[in-house]
């Protein structure tokens, strides 16, 4: 009797390994042990289904669990208990000598842009003592460090600090320029030249194409517009922006095609494949995500051959176990989870879906639909847990983008290689790659702009359990539904209608709403109800026009007598076109500080296009708009209009307002930081409010006593899920909750409406 499913025993061994890695990496043991016991029961049933070997399979699973848990525990202990961690606890000054193991990258901090550099330290000098070791350290430095090449040996002086997680031994802050003691090895120099040539080959293209071609080839996202990245996230195309198994499969597959064209046969093709994988790892950098992509890409290549499902599934299990033994920290890495799930979906689900569709579609069309659909379904629960949404256009977007991905990737690689020898010809090839990439960009932008491109979904245990059960149900019924032309076309038609017609959220907007903090991602977008039909005041517009526009449309807002832009950072002004487009808009208030320049330029251009001008918010003057009374209380009228260009100064120049709506008082704090909050506390002694819009997305840079003294009953934090800034800070949330305030946040709760009914204040959310 033929098996319906491939041999899954190695896959379950990999699950044991995953539970062991979590148990040994400082995540606690209760959940991993419970998972291991559940896996033991499932594996026993699986072994019985296959016949025989039950005890052997269980024993192997427990041995794998113990081995990976031991390795993870040793790694966790080594990283968290060593001379560096002790020095970091003392905040000691130290001199480090180490190797740069990742490309330096720019991050935003309270004091402006900083450069983050990861070092593998081999020597530490502190207090007159010299210590030899081998531990990872994160260095926070200035822009000259961007020029430090991967693989270089550097010496750096600075002050150590304790690292929050177990991934690195310590943090080091330094004000000094890099002291390079030795250059990178020859293979890293070669890799750097190819990456630089790849960027040169597309240097003359428009920004979107210029950023996306290197991202497709080697995962280099430098210069990628955050709004475009968000479109890729909404349409399920994010995997194209990072190093993935798809990249490796395309690059190595191209190398194998060339090898066959050159009459390479037999075992030499395996040598070409191995060399291609090694070259890809060097090009994309040998960091954990790249090694993970190389392993998953190798599994995908195995799955393409004869008996691919069985071979691929076994290879997936073995690759997962080996990777977790080498780096147990991958168990808690989102990218690793998505890669494994996507690969498993393609191997286990896609073949039956393809065969079902092939009964009434050409086989190549059936496979083109089945592969992205299976990968997307397998990843859906984890994506919902991370982003709080489920993409409805992901399958269609991947299907439409797929024809352009391979030529864009291959042409991009060829363009970079040709540029090394003949720059002019390389730019011609790079331009061709750019044309292919433009199609992918259009798919992402237009797909994200559909009325129901994605639906919000809770990230709590109950919501994710329900979603997982729904996905499991689809796994069972999909082959039967897809096998018939009538039911298959009906499902496609329902999906198209769902995406094109925005279904109103039941009970939204709630009756009696006063203010809505729109779920605009990592930014602010507030709507104040003026009490007149379809009329509101808008305070900030978020980082992207689409979510801000959807929020205003859902609230039925057509008239905006006043727009307030608290300051010119992109996460507050880039969504302005959605506020101004198709609505009757009156005045636009802005901060006195004209900084940063790019934000100022965007606001001026956008407002001028609809015949509006901006004016600084009038300090201490009140304005009434229907039921709303607004009073700007910051910045002061003599505050500067030109700043030094650092993020903290712009934040502290935010327009801060008190708003009163039907007897309820709101404190709208923009992104004001402790310095500004302290001056406000002195200027407004005894101030009490009902609702606090927590400044700066709930960051840890707060004057906590001032915020607590406001006595708010409700605190709202506008923040994006899975952001890079650590917002909101747990200590800020805890400090607000300690006063008895109810704390709501848009990353978990969706859009938040403050509601007043019969004199009682409450909140309603979309999740």
* CB of 691 closer than 8 Å to CB of 515: yes
**pLDDT score, position 646:** 59
Percentage of the chain surpassing pLDDT 70? 86
- Rounded CA-CA distance 84/461 in Å is 38
- Rounded CA-CA distance 687/654 in Å is 19
**Arithmetic mean of pLDDT, 257-264:** 80
- Quote the DSSP letter at residue 697: G
558 compared with 185, residue with greater pLDDT: 558
Residue 422 has pLDDT above 70, yes or no: yes
Task: Look at 236-250, 642-656, 734-748 and tell me which has the smallest mean pLDDT.
Answer: 236-250
**pLDDT score, position 1:** 36
**pLDDT score, position 660:** 94
Token duo for residue 479:
């082959």
The residues facing 155 across adjacent strands are: 97, 179
Q: Provide the mean pLDDT of the chain.
A: 83
111 contact partners, CB below 8 Å, separation of at least 6: 646, 647, 648
| Signed CA dihedral, 5, 10, 13, 15: sign only | negative
Token duo for residue 577:
């076109």
Tell me which range, 76-85, 274-283, 692-701, is most confidently predicted by mean pLDDT: 692-701
Task: Compute φ and ψ for 586, nearest 5 degrees.
Answer: -100, -100
Greatest pairwise CA separation for the chain in angstroms: 85
**Arithmetic mean of pLDDT, 251-277:** 76
Task: Look at 169-183, 293-307, 389-403 and tell me which has the smallest mean pLDDT.
Answer: 293-307
Cα 651 → chain centroid: 24
Of 723, 736, 702, 561, the C-alpha closest to 230 is 723
66 contact partners, CB below 8 Å, separation of at least 6: 20
Q: Give residue 42's pLDDT band: very low, low, confident or very high (50, 70, 90).
A: low
| Coarse DSSP helix, strand, coil percentages of the chain, rounded to the nearest 5 percent | 55, 20, 30
Q: Give residue 394's pLDDT band: very low, low, confident or very high (50, 70, 90).
A: confident
- Rounded CA-CA distance 427/423 in Å is 6
* CB of 303 closer than 8 Å to CB of 320: no
Residue carrying structure tokens 């989102």: 334
- Rounded CA-CA distance 176/2 in Å is 67
Token duo for residue 598:
């790019």
CB atoms within 10 A of CB 758: 5
Peptide bond into 728 cis (omega under 30): yes
136 contact partners, CB below 8 Å, separation of at least 6: 79, 101, 118, 119, 120, 121, 167, 168, 169
32 compared with 238, residue with greater pLDDT: 238
Domains of the chain with CATH codes: 9-80 (no CATH), 85-184 (2.40.50.140), 513-761 (3.60.15.10)
**pLDDT score, position 3:** 42
Buried b (16+ CB within 10 A) or exposed e, 436-449: bbbbbbebbbebbe
**Arithmetic mean of pLDDT, 428-449:** 91
**pLDDT score, position 157:** 93
Q: Give residue 2's pLDDT band: very low, low, confident or very high (50, 70, 90).
A: very low
- Rounded CA-CA distance 316/441 in Å is 31
Token duo for residue 758:
């019969």
Token duo for residue 22:
């979590």
Residue 206 has pLDDT above 70, yes or no: yes
Percentage of the chain surpassing pLDDT 90? 28
Task: Look at 29-43, 160-174, 193-207, 473-487 and tell me which has the smallest mean pLDDT.
Answer: 29-43
The number of residues in the chain equals 767
Q: Give residue 595's pLDDT band: very low, low, confident or very high (50, 70, 90).
A: confident
Element (H, E) at 692: strand 691-693
Token duo for residue 610:
């609809």
DSSP secondary structure string for all residues of 572-612: HHTTHHHHHTTSEEEEEEE-SS--SHHHHHHHHHHHHHTT-
Q: Give residue 561's pLDDT band: very low, low, confident or very high (50, 70, 90).
A: very high
* CB of 680 closer than 8 Å to CB of 672: yes
**pLDDT score, position 48:** 56
Q: Give residue 37's pLDDT band: very low, low, confident or very high (50, 70, 90).
A: low
**Arithmetic mean of pLDDT, 506-533:** 90
- Quote the DSSP letter at residue 535: B
Buried b (16+ CB within 10 A) or exposed e, 317-348: bbbbbebbbebbbbbbeebbbbbbbbbbbbbb
Q: Give residue 536's pLDDT band: very low, low, confident or very high (50, 70, 90).
A: very high
Alpha helices by DSSP H, listed for 113-224, are: 186-201, 207-218
Q: Give residue 4's pLDDT band: very low, low, confident or very high (50, 70, 90).
A: very low
What is the per-residue pLDDT across 697-740, written as a single tens digit (0 to 9) for each?
999 889 999 999 999 999 999 998 877 778 898 899 999 998 88
Would you call 715 exposed, middle or buried from its count of C-beta atoms within 10 A (0-12, 13-18, 19+)? buried
Q: Give residue 246's pLDDT band: very low, low, confident or very high (50, 70, 90).
A: low
Of the chain, the end-to-end C-alpha distance in Å amounts to: 48
**pLDDT score, position 44:** 57
**pLDDT score, position 433:** 93
């Amino acid at each position: 009797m033929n098996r319906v499913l491939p041999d899954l025993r190695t896959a379950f061994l990999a699950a044991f390994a995953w539970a062991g890695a979590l148990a040994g990496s400082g995540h606690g043991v209760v959940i991993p042990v419970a998972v291991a016991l559940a896996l033991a029961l499932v594996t026993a049933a699986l072994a019985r289904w296959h016949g025989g070997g039950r005890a052997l399979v269980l024993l192997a699973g427990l041995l794998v669990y113990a081995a990976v848990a031991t390795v993870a525990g040793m790694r966790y202990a080594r990283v968290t208990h060593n001379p560096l961690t002790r020095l970091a606890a003392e905040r000691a000054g130290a001199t480090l000598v180490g190797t740069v193991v990742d490309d330096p990258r720019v991050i935003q901090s309270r004091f402006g842009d900083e450069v983050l550099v990861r070092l593998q330290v081999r020597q530490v000098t502190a207090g007159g003592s010299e210590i030899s070791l081998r531990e990872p350290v994160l260095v926070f430095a200035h822009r000259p460090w961007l020029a430090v090449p991967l693989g270089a040996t550097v010496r750096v002086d600075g002050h150590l600090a304790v690292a929050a997680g177990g991934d690195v031994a310590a943090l080091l802050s330094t004000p000094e320029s890099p002291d390079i003691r030795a250059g990178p090895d020859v293979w890293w120099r070669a890799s750097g030249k190819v990456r630089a040539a790849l960027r040169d080959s597309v240097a003359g293209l428009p920004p979107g194409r210029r950023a996306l071609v290197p991202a497709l080839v080697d995962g280099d996202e430098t210069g990628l517009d955050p709004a475009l990245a968000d479109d890729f996230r909404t349409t399920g195309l994010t995997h194209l922006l990072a190093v993935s198994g798809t990249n490796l499969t395309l690059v190595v597959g191209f190398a194998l095609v060339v090898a066959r064209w050159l009459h390479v046969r037999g075992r030499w093709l395996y040598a070409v494949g191995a060399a291609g994988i090694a070259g890809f790892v060097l090009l994309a950098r040998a960091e954990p995500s790249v090694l993970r992509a190389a392993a998953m890409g190798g599994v995908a290549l195995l799955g393409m051959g004869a008996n691919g499902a069985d071979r691929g599934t076994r290879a997936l299990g073995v690759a997962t176990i080996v990777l977790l033994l080498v780096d147990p920290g991958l168990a808690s890495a989102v990218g690793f989870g998505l890669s494994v799930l996507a690969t498993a979906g393609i191997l286990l689900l896609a073949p039956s879906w393809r065969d079902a569709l092939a009964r009434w579609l050409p086989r190549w069309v059936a496979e083109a639909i089945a592969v992205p659909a299976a990968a997307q379904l397998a990843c859906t629960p984890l994506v919902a847990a991370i982003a709080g949404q489920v993409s409805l256009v992901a399958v269609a977007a991947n299907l439409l983008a797929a024809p352009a991905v391979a030529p864009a990737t291959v042409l991009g690689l060829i363009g970079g290689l040709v540029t090394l020898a003949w720059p002019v010809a390389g730019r011609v090839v790079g331009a061709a790659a750019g044309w292919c990439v433009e199609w992918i960009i259009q798919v992402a932008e237009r797909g994200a702009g559909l009325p129901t491109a994605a639906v919000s979904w809770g990230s709590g245990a109950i919501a994710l359990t329900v979603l997982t059960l729904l996905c499991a149900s689809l796994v069972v019924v999909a082959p039967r539904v897809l096998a018939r032309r009538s039911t298959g076309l009906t499902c496609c038609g329902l999906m198209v209608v769902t995406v094109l017609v925005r279904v109103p959220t039941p009970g939204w907007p709630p009756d009696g709403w006063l203010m809505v903090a729109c779920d605009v991602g990592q930014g602010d977008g507030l709507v104040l109800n003026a009490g007149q039909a379809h009329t509101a005041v808008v305070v900030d517009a978020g980082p992207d026009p689409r979510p801000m526009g959807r929020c205003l449309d859902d609230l039925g807002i057509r008239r905006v007598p006043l727009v307030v832009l608290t300051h010119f950072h992109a996460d507050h002004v880039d969504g302005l076109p959605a506020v101004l487009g198709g609505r009757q808009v009156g005045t636009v208030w802005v901060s006195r500080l004209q900084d940063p320049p790019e934000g100022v330029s965007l606001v001026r251009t956008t407002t001028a296009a609809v015949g509006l001008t901006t004016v600084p918010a009038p300090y201490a003057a009140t304005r009434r708009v229907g039921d709303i009374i607004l009073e700007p209380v910051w910045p002061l009228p003599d505050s500067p209009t030109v700043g030094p260009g650092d993020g903290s100064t712009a934040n502290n120049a935010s327009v801060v307002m008190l708003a009163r709506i039907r007897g309820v008082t709101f404190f709208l704090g923009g992104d004001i930081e402790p310095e500004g909050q302290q001056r406000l506390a002195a200027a407004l002694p005894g101030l009490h409010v009902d609702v606090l819009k927590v400044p700066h997305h709930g960051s840890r840079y707060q004057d906590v006593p001032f915020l607590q003294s406001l006595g708010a009953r409700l605190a709202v934090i506008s923040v994006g899920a899975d952001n890079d800034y650590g917002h909101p800070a747990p200590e800020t949330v805890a400090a607000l909750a300690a006063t008895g305030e109810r704390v709501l946040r848009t990353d978990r709760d969706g859009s938040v409406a403050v509601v007043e009914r019969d004199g009682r204040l409450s909140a309603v959310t979309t999740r």
